[in-house]
Amino acid sequence: MSDLYRSALQARIAKLPMLHPEDVDEDEDEEEEATDTLGSLPTGAPMHLLQPPFLLTLVLRTNTLLRPTRAPWAPRKRAPNVSFAPISASAFFEQATQVEVPASELDVRAYYTPPRLVNGTVIVCHHGAGSSGLTFACMAKAVVDLSKGECGVLALDCRGHGKTTRTTEPAPSEEDYAIETLTADFVSILKVIFPDPATTPTLLLVGHSLGGSVIVRACPLLQEFKYRITGVAVLDIVEEFTLEALPMMHNLLDARPEGFGSPEEAIEWHIKTHALRNTDSARISVPAIIKPAPPDAPQGTPAYVWRTPLHSTSPYWTSWFTGLSGKFLTARTARLLVLAGTERLDKELMIGQMQGKFQLVVISGVGHMLQEDDPTRLAEVLVEFWKRNERVIAGIKKVGDR
């Protein structure tokens, strides 16, 4: 990272306000379902779903960073702000189901809208660290609408995130977040959901941040099993600059509140700190990344705490992103890199771009969580990419073809 870039980053951090959580009535009695509401979302899955068998969001977007001091949490008696009440995902996915994946000893939460045509495509989405599959909810609806149902969307909660749980008892005290494990999980999940590659729709793999590292590693493995991969799309992650920013991560995580008094408070915090810029999307995605504090939590613990302990993932951070650019450029399929704002390319990606090895799209006016900040624009980019590479026009090469 250049001295100029580092100085600018530190200056932005110093200018940002410290926001204190808004608190709620201590007598409120909210159940766990309120933190990840699905409303009337159908839980029935198609037959193949029922068969048994990070970048961290604070690294790249400087406007989401907080001063590295955490204010103590103290409850205030204030009713939850209804403007930030959770929204059900039922209007954004047709199905929500748990998929047992024996190879990974996981019970995986899957959100799915299947394509309406037999020969359609499924866009498979992997979220970043600390997030969940619901980060793609608004984008998923926009994709289905723009493609007139030819594209379906499958979004997954990876291990240790959202409503994915371990099937083994007792669960280990520390989850395995090695990139090899996360990649194997992703491949195993798709093999359970789509057990027959010959009848599986073509797949377009989309990964945000850490999810980008997972999908580019999973692509060749899925191709070995004869799955048809029409492309890989990596969202807002550049290897070189991410690795340079990782040493700051512990301080930035320490700056987050310990927790919140209610889901509404958590949503409001994400919006007011500009961690997310789309209130509707935040009202869907944020409840999935917090959970009720355990009954044996120390006195004074907020009513809701973070679902994924990101500090505990730190031993894996470097391995998540090392080699990402090379693996992306050598994927044997069409390649798309979507960045937020004017984020720079590293040397390897810059050379690859000049050689026409991938399509680059920059979306303005968004933060790191671009799939939430402007889901319609990202959906337009993905549908255009899908049309170019799945419905090939004579004389027009796929992205990355020489």
Point out the residues that are catalytic: 209, 236, 368
Shortest CA distance to 278 belongs to which of 141, 137, 375? Answer: 375
- Is the N-terminal amide bond of 170 cis, ω within 30° of 0? yes
State how far Cα 162 lies from the chain centre. 11
Residue 359, exposed/middle/buried by CB under 10 A (0-12, 13-18, 19+)?
buried
- What's the Cα-to-Cα distance from 8 to each of 66, 169, 253, 272, 367, rounded to whole Å? 15, 48, 20, 22, 17
Contact 251, 276 (CB under 8 A): no
Pairing of strands 229-235, 334-340: parallel
Shortest CA distance to 118 belongs to which of 202, 16, 184, 175? Answer: 202
- What's the Cα-to-Cα distance from 163 to each of 99, 248, 280, 361, rounded to whole Å? 11, 29, 21, 32
Contact 93, 140 (CB under 8 A): yes
- The residue type at 380: E
- What's the Cα-to-Cα distance from 38 to each of 3, 78, 100, 111, 316, rounded to whole Å? 46, 26, 20, 10, 32
Please provide residue 202's backbone torsions phi and psi, each rounded to the nearest 5 degrees.
-60, 150
Residue 46 to residue 193: CA distance in whole angstroms:
9
Which residues have C-beta within 8 Å of that of residue 98, sequence separation ≥ 6? Answer: 107, 108, 109, 110, 163
Please provide residue 197's backbone torsions phi and psi, each rounded to the nearest 5 degrees.
-55, -30
